[in-house]
Structure 1
Amino acid sequence: MVGRTVSFFAAHKYIVYALFTIITIFTLYLTLIPLRSVPGISLFEYNKLGHFLMFFGWTFMLGFSFIIRNNKLAPLFRIFLAGMVFGISIEFAQELLPYGRTASVWDAAADVAGSFVAVLLLWGIQTRYQSYLKPALIKNNINNGNTLES
């Protein structure tokens, strides 16, 4: 089932790009708007879980986008750093905003943890499900680096 899901998203790269864009906008919106503007969603009762899930999704989609766009193994450490920098930057931005948002070390830790778990999942996909990626990538004419070849 995981293999088919990987194959589907590799074959439909624009869905991956759209999801990455939506998650980026959603993450920026929810982390930078005034707290009183956040709708009463029960997920916000579990703030750290929300941070973990947003940055897991953002980092995972960034890495998967890289794989399907470049037909290369994703540079996992750089992708992890991108997720970490994105999360920490948002925390700094919250501290600078004039309407009551504050930076939180624990929010940043949840962001980094979500990014780390996403990179672990990307590593698993790259190592275990590589054969599901190849046919879709070749069909999409993304075969420019041939680095997914075994």
Structure 2
Amino acid sequence: MLNKYLIGSIIWAILILILTLTPGKSVPDLSIFSYDKLGHGFVFFVLTFLLISGLYENLKGSIRKKRAIYIGITIAASYGFLIEGMQSIIPDRSMETYDAVANVAGCFLGLLLFNIRNKLKA
């Protein structure tokens, strides 16, 4: 059964898909640390936190936290790489390595928030 976190992660993933695959004017950005990269990191930070939290609530057993983390990070990071690859076939969009790096960095920040929240709950 889908809980509020998993429903939120699905809605958020659809929003990411719409925003990143909409044809637009491609403006090359050579800066590694730009607002664009922060945006990429932020959306995957939220996605990963929602995914791991939702999976953690749904999974049972003694290793549920490890499984939730592994599955959540794998799905979110793979989704980030997939979207970057798909952008190469969208008009006026392009695949950018630093965007993929920012996506993955956001995933690990989402994991960090999940761990902090669980420590505060305990």
Coarse TM-score class (shorter-chain normalised):
0.7 to 0.9
Q: Is the 8 A contact 2:9 2:51 kept in 1?
A: yes
1:56-135 aligned at under 5 Å gives the runs: 56-71=45-60, 72-75=64-67, 76-97=69-90, 99-126=91-118, 128-131=119-122
CA 16–119 in structure 1, closer or farther in 2 if over 3 Å, else same: same
Further displaced range: 14-23 or 58-67: 14-23
Equivalent residue number for residue 29 of structure 2 = none
Q: Is the 8 A contact 2:6 2:55 kept in 1?
A: no
- Is the aligned partner of 1:26 residue 2:19? no
Q: Distance in 2 between matches of 1:77 and 1:69?
A: 14
Q: Distance in 1 between matches of 2:5 and 2:74?
A: 20
Q: Is the 8 A contact 1:84 1:111 kept in 2?
A: yes
SS in 1 for 2:65: coil
Measured after TM superposition, the shift of residue 103 of structure 1 is 0.2
- Give the structure with higher Rg (CA): 1
Q: Unaligned stretches of 5+ in structure 1? A: 1-12, 37-44, 132-150
Q: Normalized against structure 1, the TM-score is what?
A: 0.64
Q: Runs of at least 4 residues of structure 1 off by over 6 A? A: none
- Tell me the matched-pair count: 109
CA 121–81 in structure 1, closer or farther in 2 if over 3 Å, else same: same
Match for 1:67: what amino acid? Y
Percent identity between matched residues is 28
